[in-house]
Structure 1
Amino acid sequence: MDSSCTECIKGTIHKGQPLGKEEMIHGLNTYVIGNRTNPRGIIVMYSDIFSLPLPNNKLIADAYAKSGEWLVYFPDFFKGDPVPLRNVNTLVPVDAAKQSKFSLYTGLLAFMPPFLLWMTRHKEGPTNKVCMDFLQALRRATPKEQKIGMVGFCWGGKYAIRAGLESNMIEKAGQKVPLVDAVVALHPSHLTLPDDVEHLVVPVSYGWGVEDSAVKFEQKSKVEQIHAAAKSKGRKVPEMEHQVYRPGRHGFAVRGNPDNPEERACLENSQKQVLSWFDRWI
């Protein structure tokens, strides 16, 4: 297992009781929380590889919905097959600083074969289709005046960004419209450059970690260079924002340790980044 895969299954489980409910939305089991009556807009979450079983993800959805402005959908884009939490005490310790290297690496070795099999079941093509099919159905069912924002973490960051591509626009009421109106991507992994970012039609806010060993910090400058080159050729590029997190270890927006002041700041500031961006664009 390479270092990027290893980092994807490390972190901390957070305490708290999720307040939303799971129900079927556009063919996917979806955690739903927030204003169902007259929301200002819809926020769609695409999580890391742990999906619905990881409490952190639902608690993040709850935080987005807390203001009463938003309706938050957190679909199980893995269709009941997220990376399991069977080895949670090894892979997602309460305090990673207290975990011995022996415990960590023996746990990872035991986890490697099933994780690699999981990867073969979630290849890019089918994974992309599940996401875009959901978003197409949501866009068609959503009133014209209501906007949709999408936030993706780690694995989900790639597909959140792709939701804003020109190639994924659809026809609705005689007009070409994007699947979403704004995107936030936090420590987005497995990006294919330039394809995933070159022809975006919606504003995107990125969050990069300085010490992220799965998503190299150099990705930030590569994305910026792609957009600068597009502008130099006269192409219109929507507004792009890049925020930097220190220490910003992988998973900083989801699985950071809230008892560590630096990691807690990353958790809190990434939440602010998402809500500020959507407050501006949706």
Structure 2
Amino acid sequence: MASCDACKSGFSWDGKPTGTETTIAGNNTYVTGTSKSAAILIVHDIFGWTFTNLRVLADQFAKEANATVYLPDFFGGEVIPESTLTDPAKRAEVDVPAFLGKNSKAVRWSEIESAAKALKAEYPKLGAIGYCYGGWAITRLAAQKDLVDAVSTAHPSLLEKSEIDAVKVPLQFLAPETDQLFTPELKEYANKVIPTLGVPYEYVYFPGLVHGFATRGDRNNKLQKDGLERAKRSAVNFFNEFLH
């Protein structure tokens, strides 16, 4: 992930988030929706819990998947400014290896698991979706059948084969054609192994698109706009199937 410029670039979307802020398991959290029967946990990319694009997506999931959606802060209050998306100078200042060192799996996994446990204690059904950085965490949650009911991830980062091996709940991958982090080897491995695990599995392929498209794609580019909207619809349909 050290050389992943795609992790730091993209486009901001128009839209005004409509949710509120609260805390879950001690973490500041954006929350939206009114469902009492189903919740969705979002694990963010490196732009964190305040990222407008993710909050707008959370609002859409709440409405279209009939769920209360939670987007906690898993970076200890650190926020990479959204202006970094389109400013090469600011992107160059983002030290991804150092950032990942502060937010490694060993550092953040317990917070993510605790947030999921808090939500599962409150809601009969819990789904989870992760983007980029959040992809490994979502797949790791999928190893706990009593914790989450279904998980989805778009262009996951830091994913390991052992995490794929351990999946025990319905899982969806939203996979762009070009992704230096969800590599062809990992894609092939997932498509070979997960169908042997006895869980519902959905692999949605997005030709012509790249890492980050589902949260930072260009809405003024037809290919990217169609792709990011298809990714959202795919996740909504997936959660509607397994959470209701």
Q: TM-score of the superposition, structure 2-length normalised? A: 0.92
Which amino acid in structure 2 is aligned with residue 118 of structure 1?
A: F
- The correspondence of residues 80-99 of structure 1 with structure 2, limited to 5 A, is 80-82=77-79, 84-85=80-81, 88=83, 91-93=84-86
SS at match of 1:272: helix
Note if contact 1:7-1:214 (Cα within 8 Å) is conserved in structure 2: no
Distance 2:242 2:199 in 1: 11
Alignment correspondent of 2:179: 212
Alignment correspondent of 2:146: 178
Which amino acid in structure 2 is aligned with residue 20 of structure 1?
A: G
Distance 1:240 1:68 in 2: 19
Alignment correspondent of 1:203: 170
- The correspondence of residues 89-128 of structure 1 with structure 2, limited to 5 A, is 91-93=84-86, 104=88, 106-112=89-95, 115-128=96-109
Alignment pair present for 1:159 and 2:127: no
Note if contact 2:44-2:132 (Cα within 8 Å) is conserved in structure 1: yes
Note if contact 1:209-1:217 (Cα within 8 Å) is conserved in structure 2: no
Which amino acid in structure 1 is aligned with residue 126 of structure 2?
A: I
**1:190 offset after TM fit, Å?**
0.9
Alignment correspondent of 1:173: none
The one-character-per-residue Cα deviations of 1:148-205 (angstroms, maximum 9, x if unpaired) are 000110100110111010xxx4xxxxxxx52110000110111111x11112110001
SS at match of 1:117: helix
RMSD: 1.9
Alignment correspondent of 2:155: 187
Q: Which has the larger Rg?
A: 1
Note if contact 1:246-1:262 (Cα within 8 Å) is conserved in structure 2: no
Of residues 207, 210, 214, the one that matches 1:246 is: 207
Distance 1:274 1:68 in 2: 9
Alignment correspondent of 1:129: 110
Distance 2:154 2:184 in 1: 12
The one-character-per-residue Cα deviations of 1:107-136 (angstroms, maximum 9, x if unpaired) are 443333xx4322221121121111112112
Distance 2:194 2:225 in 1: 31
SS at match of 2:151: strand
- Identity among equivalent pairs (%): 27
Note if contact 2:85-2:91 (Cα within 8 Å) is conserved in structure 1: no
Q: Structure 2: where are the runs of 5+ without partners?
A: none
C-alpha spacing 1:75/1:111, structure 2 compared with 1 (3 Å): closer
**1:68 offset after TM fit, Å?**
7.6
Q: TM-score of the superposition, structure 1-length normalised? A: 0.80
**1:218 offset after TM fit, Å?**
3.6
Distance 2:65 2:205 in 1: 28
Note if contact 2:152-2:173 (Cα within 8 Å) is conserved in structure 1: yes
The one-character-per-residue Cα deviations of 1:206-235 (angstroms, maximum 9, x if unpaired) are 01110223332442111122235xx3xxxx
**What is the number of residues matched between the two proteins?**
243
Note if contact 1:200-1:237 (Cα within 8 Å) is conserved in structure 2: no
Note if contact 1:178-1:201 (Cα within 8 Å) is conserved in structure 2: no
C-alpha spacing 1:33/1:108, structure 2 compared with 1 (3 Å): closer
Alignment correspondent of 1:31: 30
Note if contact 1:8-1:214 (Cα within 8 Å) is conserved in structure 2: no
Of residues 74, 78, 91, the one that matches 1:77 is: 74
Note if contact 2:2-2:97 (Cα within 8 Å) is conserved in structure 1: no
Q: Structure 1: where are the runs of 5+ without partners?
A: 94-102, 170-176
SS at match of 2:14: coil
Alignment pair present for 1:15 and 2:10: no
